[in-house]
């Protein structure tokens, strides 16, 4: 992906990440980046947790935190709590975090 066509953006020192979550996905994994129906890129993630009582959301936060090397306290869902498409807020990490996010576009984990 190039230019502004990214699944993340920086805003006031934090990164906002668009994620499409698949709960009950059999395993916890990041499957790369793909466009939605309107062509906007989103990070594809799956978790084995069920979407009840916030379990899938908690598993997503932990998965993304591990993938980018942040403590889970620095990752929060800020939009889409009950939707498959969510916006995550990642705090801290600066340019190193940006590099780890860019790596997710190329190498699924």
Check residue 3 and give its pLDDT. Answer: 45
pTM of the model: 0.90
Cβ of 68: how many Cβ atoms within 10 Å? 25
**CA Rg, the chain, in Å?**
13
Determine how many CB atoms are found less than 10 A away from the CB of residue 53. Answer: 9
Question: 8-106 adopts what CATH topology?
Answer: Conserved Hypothetical Protein Mth637; Chain: A; (3.30.1200)
Q: Could you report the per-residue pLDDT of 13-71, keeping only the tens digit for each?
A: 899 999 999 999 889 999 999 999 999 999 999 999 999 999 999 999 999 999 999 99
The helix (run of H) or strand (run of E) holding residue 59 is helix 55-68
Per-residue model confidence (pLDDT) at position 73 = 96
The single-letter DSSP state of residue 54 is T
User: How far apart are alpha carbons 51 and 107 in whole angstroms?
Assistant: 26
């Amino acid at each position: 992906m190039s230019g502004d066509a990214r699944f993340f953006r920086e805003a006031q020192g934090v990164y906002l990440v668009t994620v499409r979550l698949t709960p009950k996905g059999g395993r916890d994994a990041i499957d790369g980046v793909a466009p939605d129906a309107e062509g906007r890129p989103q990070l594809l993630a799956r978790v084995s947790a069920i979407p009840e009582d916030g379990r899938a959301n908690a598993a997503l936060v932990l998965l993304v935190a591990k993938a980018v090397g942040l403590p889970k306290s620095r990752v929060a869902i800020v939009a889409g709590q009950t939707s498959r498409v969510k916006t995550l807020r990642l705090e801290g990490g600066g340019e190193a975090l940006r590099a780890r996010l860019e790596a997710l576009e190329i190498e699924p984990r």
